[in-house]
Amino acid sequence: MKIGFIGNGWRTEGYWRIVHEVPEEFEISGVLFRNPDKAAAFGKTHPGLAFTELDAFLGQDHDMVFILLPRHIVLPYIEAVLKAGFPLLVETPPANGPDELNAVWELQKKYGAKIQVAEQYFLQPYHRAVKALADRGVFGEISNLRISMAHDYHGISVMRRLLGTEGLPCSITGQRFEFPVLWHCGREGLAEGSEKIVRDGRKVASFVFENGKVGFFDFAGEQYFNYFRSRHLNVQGTHGELNDYNVAYWNGRMPVSARLERQDTGKDSNLEGYFHRGITWNGEYVYENPFAKYPKARLTDDEIAMGSLLLGMKRMIAGGEEIYPLREALEDTYLYLMMDEAIRTGTAVKTTPQAWNDTDLNPKS
């Protein structure tokens, strides 16, 4: 699949690494830069693939276009790509505020476009395994969960999919706290002597949905990199509960328990080299890494999820199957914006129907 990229930031570079690691599936067909110097530097290593003019970029042979730009400038680019007729993947969040979210939905309708949003967290191996158990009915009817795994729309997308509350109105309350913690690791790795105490902002919110289901959101930014700020997920249903990797459930006769187990190569004396094979539960795979067949693809969990999005675009282009429908992406972003509004005002916020709610709400993914 030939991918044309608009944008060249940190997240874009992550997708370039995936393309490099899995050349059997993906290739770069062009990159649109806003900075001429960056375009020139990229062009030295990728001759003929660097562009600074949108029209010239859209004149190339792309199978899809991937926009990775800040939310406040993305809308005109979305319309230009859809007008040109390319299938589109756009980075989260896909717009800047509720009005622009509705505008994106109207653009999809206007152009009959194939468009999805690059929300990858629910595609990470652990979350795919948990969703597989939920779909099997291991937990029974899920009534509530507490997620402390990812920030804002990322965490909300995992929460909403597990609760099965797409399109349902809800009431949101929330608060933000700050706590001191030793910063010692970031995107570049361990600080190595430049550690410092920082104030870590933590958002805590409750989403009470119309059908009685409740999502408890709890996340602080340091949880991504800090070695002593861990991540957690608790899911409670009528017939079972997940607590991180531990699953307690009713087997039809009595309560039992079993752990989700990661299957990774390259550990101890294994000489295959590292890659994630999948996750097992009760002796069977409930998730298998789609890139395990390419043993040279040494992808992290997040990169596996990002690559899975690209595979999902491939399937949508070929047959229409959506891996993360636009209406779900718009709903998750809207819920995140309403959460921030509840935190900002200190009062409960009730969500209202948006343009994308006036459609068939039967998920295809």
The pLDDT of residue 360 is 54
Based on the domain organization, do 153 and 63 belong to the same domain?
no
Q: What percent of the chain has pLDDT over 70?
A: 98
Per the document, the length of the chain is 365
Whether the predicted pLDDT of 361 surpasses 60 = no
In the 8-state DSSP scheme, what is residue 105?
A: H
CATH number where 113 lies: 3.40.50.720
Whether the predicted pLDDT of 365 surpasses 90 = no
Based on the domain organization, do 163 and 262 belong to the same domain?
yes
Confirm whether 110 is domain-assigned: yes
- Using alpha carbons, list the distances in angstroms from residue 12 to 17, 51, 70, 231, 291: 9, 15, 12, 25, 20
- Taking residues 177-198, what's their average pLDDT? 95
Confirm whether 114 is domain-assigned: yes
Based on the domain organization, do 154 and 285 belong to the same domain?
yes
Last residue of a domain, one of 302, 328, 353: 302
Based on the domain organization, do 107 and 138 belong to the same domain?
no
Q: Are strands 115-118 and 214-220 parallel, antiparallel or unpaired?
A: unpaired
The pLDDT of residue 273 is 79
Of the candidates 214, 250, 285, which has an alpha carbon nearest to the alpha carbon of residue 139? 250
- Position of tokens 């949508």? 316
Based on the domain organization, do 146 and 95 belong to the same domain?
no
The pLDDT of residue 296 is 81
The pLDDT of residue 274 is 84
Whether the predicted pLDDT of 140 surpasses 80 = yes
The pLDDT of residue 362 is 40
- Taking residues 338-360, what's their average pLDDT? 92
The pLDDT of residue 359 is 59
Whole-number mean pLDDT of the chain?
95
Q: Are strands 246-250 and 255-265 parallel, antiparallel or unpaired?
A: antiparallel
What is the domain range of residue 257?
Answer: 122-173+204-302
The pLDDT of residue 146 is 98
Whether the predicted pLDDT of 152 surpasses 90 = yes
CATH number where 126 lies: 3.30.360
Confirm whether 82 is domain-assigned: yes
What's the pLDDT tens digit per position in 272-281?
A: 878 899 999 9
Per-residue pLDDT band for 270 (boundaries 50, 70, 90) equals confident
Based on the domain organization, do 237 and 280 belong to the same domain?
yes
Whether the predicted pLDDT of 234 surpasses 60 = yes
Confirm whether 316 is domain-assigned: no
Task: Please report the beta strands in the chain, taking only residues with DSSP state E, as ranges in sequence order.
Answer: 2-6, 27-32, 50-51, 64-67, 88-91, 115-118, 142-148, 170-183, 185-186, 189-190, 196-209, 214-220, 232-237, 240-243, 246-250, 255-265, 275-281, 284-288, 349-350
- Taking residues 318-324, what's their average pLDDT? 94
pTM over 0.85: yes
Confirm whether 330 is domain-assigned: no
Last residue of a domain, one of 265, 285, 302: 302
